[in-house]
Amino acid sequence: MNIAFFDTKEYDIPAFERYGKERGISFRFYETKLDADTAELARGFDGVCVFVNDNVSAEVVDKLSEMGVGTIALRCAGYNNVDVKHCFGKLRVVRVPAYSPYAVAEHTMALLLTSVRRIHKAYNRTREFNFSLNGLKGFDLHGKTVGVIGTGKIGSIFIDICKGFGMNILAYDKFPRADADFPYVSLDELFEKSDVISLHLPLFEDTYHLIGYDALKKLKKGVILLNTSRGALIDAEALLDGIKQRIIGGACLDVYEEESELFFEDLSGHIVEDDTLARLLSMPNVIVTSHQAFLTEEALSNIAETTVENLVLCRDGKPCPNELCYGCGSMDDCKKKRKERCF
């Protein structure tokens, strides 16, 4: 099985080559992202492997289908960049639902600690032999209330980490866990009472700009916002206003709403034209990392192994537990439930 691999980074290649060789999957690695202009690069391949900033629109799906491409393999959990509905009946879509939830949860806590203890500022100072403590005062996490929105694997692990710091937990999820050992509250109550809010949920139509101008009116003054999920969960303009109004005491972002042409690239020698991001980076209480929360050795290995296994199942015409589908309209007769291929 031959796969066109888009948006390749140096750290992607070793694990994918290793697992691919073991299972008879060969990859052609392209640095460019997949979109309507680059889809032609997939001609002659059995499938494509894509990441979070590849654009698999309906137009791209049609082009891939016309060229005989049969599979879209997402090497990530989120799939808001893929028109899954349009794929139905044309291409199978598989993903990696969990590669290392610990990696993302731990990075979230690292961002929080860096922010509240001013570690980034201290690091820059001491490199210039400035050992003054002025302006580095933080606060204890112990006894503070953290509101976690989204209690899947990553959110639940982050909650466990917060418990270790002695924090009080509030949680919100559209689909609460039946076995949860933490309290669920309404979104409004979470906004009102949380000293820290962390987002751990996918981007869908109903979660787009979850933190926006309406939410600003409800947030506890001085709240710290954490986002290691999807950038568009937060309205970046509203975030800036919240910071300037002193409603938001700090923001730690591993994702950004308009990151697709920025993150994962070295733009240090360029003028970045995104004024919103530039203003965010100029704020003393904002920390931005470039979508690196997933980036651990364990996660990269798990991503490659699961993606290759997904591709093997597609190659062999078998059902795949990690397949995404738009459904057939009848859950009672769902082929996936019957462990059959959707189409």
Q: Is 291 a catalytic residue?
A: yes
Considering 95, 107, 200, 291, which one is annotated as catalytic? 291
| Annotation says 265 is catalytic | no
Report CA-CA distances (Å) from 305 to 105, 176, 309, 310.
21, 30, 6, 9
Beta partners for 252?
226, 287
- Rounded to whole angstroms, the Cα distance separating 190 from 220 reads 9
Burial class (CB within 10 angstroms; exposed 0-12, middle 13-18, buried 19+) of 137 = exposed
Q: How far is CA 44 from CA 65, 92, 148, 149, 328, in A?
A: 11, 17, 45, 43, 30
Report how far residue 118's alpha carbon sits from residue 137's, in angstroms, rounded to the nearest whole number: 7
> For the packed helices 153-164 and 101-116, what is the interaxial angle rounded to 10 degrees?
40
In 71-148, which residue ranges form alpha helices assigned H by DSSP? 84-87, 101-116, 119-126
Of residues 106, 257, 259, 309, which has the active-site annotation?
259
Instruction: Establish whether 259 is a catalytic residue.
Output: yes
* Active-site pick, 107, 200, 230, 305: 230
* Contact partners, residue 60, CB within 8 Å, separation at least 6: 34, 35, 36, 39
The residues that are catalytic are: 230, 259, 291
